[in-house]
Amino acid sequence: MSKTAIVVGSGIAGLASAIRLAKRGYIVSVFEANVYPGGKLTEIKLGDYRFDAGPSLFTLPENIEELFELTGFKTSDFFKYKKLDTTCKYFWEDGTQLTGWANEDQLVEEFEDKLSEPGKNIKKALENSNFLYDYLSPIFMHKSLHQKSTWFGNGAMKAYSKLSKFGFNQTMHEANRKQFENEKTVQLFNRYATYNGSNPYETPATLNIIPHLEFGIGAYFPEGGMHQITMSLYKLAMKMNVKFYFNTPVKKIVVYKGKAKGVDTQMGFHKSDIVVSNMDVVGTYQKLLSSEKQPKKLLKQPKSSSAIIFYWGIKKEFKELDLHNIFFSEDYKTEFDHIFNKKSVYHDPTVYLNITSTQNPGDAPEDSMNWFTMVNAPNNTGQSWDDIIGETRKNIISKLSRMLGTDIEPLIEVEDILDPRTIELRTSSSTGALYGNSSNNKYAAFLRHANFSKNIGGLYFCGGSVHPGGGIPLCLLSAKIVDEVMN
C-alpha cells in the first residue's frame, strides 16, 4: 500500500516539502486556508499594475534548481531568472547616493568614491562574510541543529577551531563600527539585520554572514517577478501528482498514541502516515495541537519585526531608481529602538522601494512604475495600527518627495496596504512577524523549533518560523532538512 503524507499550508516551504515527499513515493495532499498557493510569496494586481506582494529579494537560486533536478524536470521549462548587475541603490538625506554593484571591484571603487571608505575595509568585510558562510552555512543552514550527528559531522569539526572568529560575543553594529570608517558604510552593512527581522544593535555579529549572499554569490530576478517562484514550484508539484485543497483550513492535527495520524478539516478526517506543518509553529501548536503538550519556552520567544507595505502605482518614471532601493533614516539606532522597544514606527523610517517594472516593464503602464514601498515595523501587540499607518504614510511621502525632488502624493494612481494585522490574518504568522522568532541574541538559532517533533511521531515542521529561519532560501532549506531527518 502506498504511503500518504499531508502538508498543512502551501507556502514556499510547504510546496518544496510536497515535492520532496512526492519524490519519495508518498501520495501527497496539501491543505491551504487561502484560495492560492505561496503564502507570503504571492502577487496582487491593481488596475494596470502588478506587484509581488511579499518577499522581493531572490538569492541562492540553486535551492530551487535542486528541486527540479531532484524530480528529473528541466528548470528552464518552468522557471527562468537572471543575475543582477546591481544589488541595490542607496540614498541618504544629504544627497549621497551609492550603487551596490555586483562586481566586487566596482563595488570597492564605489565605496571609495562616494563614501571615502578605504577599499581594504570593504574587501575585508566581504572576506569575513564569505568566511562565515563557508564555515557556518553547512551547519546552521543545511543541517538540523537538533540531531547529534550534526555536531559530530565534518562541517562542525571544521568550525570548532574557528569559534572565536564567528562574532557570537559582539553585536553586528559593534563589529561593523570597528570595521568601517564612514558611518554610512556602518549603516549600510547594519541593514542586513533586517533580512531576518532583527536589530543590528542587538543581534550577534554572526549575521554578517548575510552580505555574502548578495555581494559574494549574487542577487537575481525571476522572469515575470518573484511570484513565479511560487507558480513554478506549484506547477512542479502538480506534475508530481500532488493534490491541493485550497480554501480548506486544517482544524486539527489528529494524534493517536503519540503519533500523527492525519488532519481534520471541514470535509472531515483525512488519514496520513505523516504530517508536515508549514503553518507558523505557534499557530500549529495553539490551534492544531491544542490538546497536546506545548513547548511553552519556544512558543514564548520574542518575535521578529514585521512591516507596513504600501503598494503604489506611480504615474511617473524615475530613472535614478532601480529594482531595489533604500532611503536611509538619519538616526538608525532610534529607528530600531522604536521598532523593538517602543513598538512603533519612527517618524523618519528607512524606506525600501522594490520596483519590478524596472526589470519587467509589463508590471506598470508606460512611463509609470509599481512601487512596493516598505518600512520595518513592530509585530502586532495591539497597537493603534490605523493611526500608525496614517502617520507612516505621511512621513514616507514627505521623505521620498524630499529626497527625489518630486511631490509623490499626486503621482499615486492606485494603492493597497499590508500591515502586521493583515499579515497575521492572511498567513497565520504569529503577531504578524515576518520571520518567526527574533534573532536578537546569540542563542536565537538554537531557540527555533526543530523540523520534527520530539514527542509526536510522524510530525514535521517547515517554513520561516522553524529552523533554519525566514526568507526564501532558508524556507526551502527547511523542507530539505525535513526530507533528511525522515531518513
For residue 255, the cross-strand partners are 260
CA–CA separation, 223 and 80 (whole Å):
5
Instruction: Flag whether pLDDT at 397 surpasses 90.
Output: yes
Task: Return the pLDDT at 437.
Answer: 86
Confidence label for 444 from pLDDT (cuts 50, 70 and 90): confident
The C-alpha cell at 451 is 523540523
193: Cβ–Cβ under 8 A, 6 or more apart, which residues?
172, 199, 200, 203, 207, 439
Alpha-carbon distance of 89 to 188, in angstroms, equals: 11
Average pLDDT over residues 307-328: 98
| Contact of 481 with 468, CB cutoff 8 Å | yes
Closest CA to 302 of 447, 442, 438, 449: 438
Mean pLDDT, residues 262-284 taken together: 97
Domains, the chain, with CATH or none: 4-41+224-299+441-485 (3.50.50.60), 109-213 (no CATH), 305-427 (3.30.519)
Chain-wide mean pLDDT for the chain? 96
Mean pLDDT of 223-235: 97
For β-strands 4-8 and 27-31, DSSP reports them as parallel
Share of the chain above pLDDT 90, in %: 90
445, pLDDT greater than 80: no
pLDDT attached to residue 272: 98
Report yes or no: 206 and 216 within 8 Å, Cβ to Cβ: no
Which of 33-37, 298-302, 394-398 shows the lowest per-residue confidence on average (mean pLDDT)?
298-302
The pLDDT, as a whole number, for residue 39 is 95
* pLDDT above 90 (res 164): no
The pLDDT score that the predictor gives to residue 458 is 97
Name the band, by pLDDT with cuts 50, 70 and 90, for residue 271: very high
Strands 274-277 and 4-8: parallel
Q: Specify the pLDDT at position 441.
A: 82
The predicted model gives 52-77 an average pLDDT of 96
Lowest mean pLDDT of 200-204, 441-445, 448-452, name the range: 441-445
- Sorting pLDDT into bands at 50, 70 and 90, what band is 1? low
Dihedral sign computed on CA atoms, order 18, 20, 22, 27: negative
Question: Can you tell me the distance from the alpha carbon of 63 to that of 117, in angstroms, rounded to the nearest whole number?
Answer: 34
Give one DSSP letter per residue of 71-84, joined into a string. HT--GGGT--EEE-
Q: Which residues face 457 on adjacent strands? A: 259
Q: What beta strand segments (E) does 322-386 contain?
A: 324-327, 351-354, 369-377
Closest to 249 measured CA to CA, from 469, 32, 17: 32
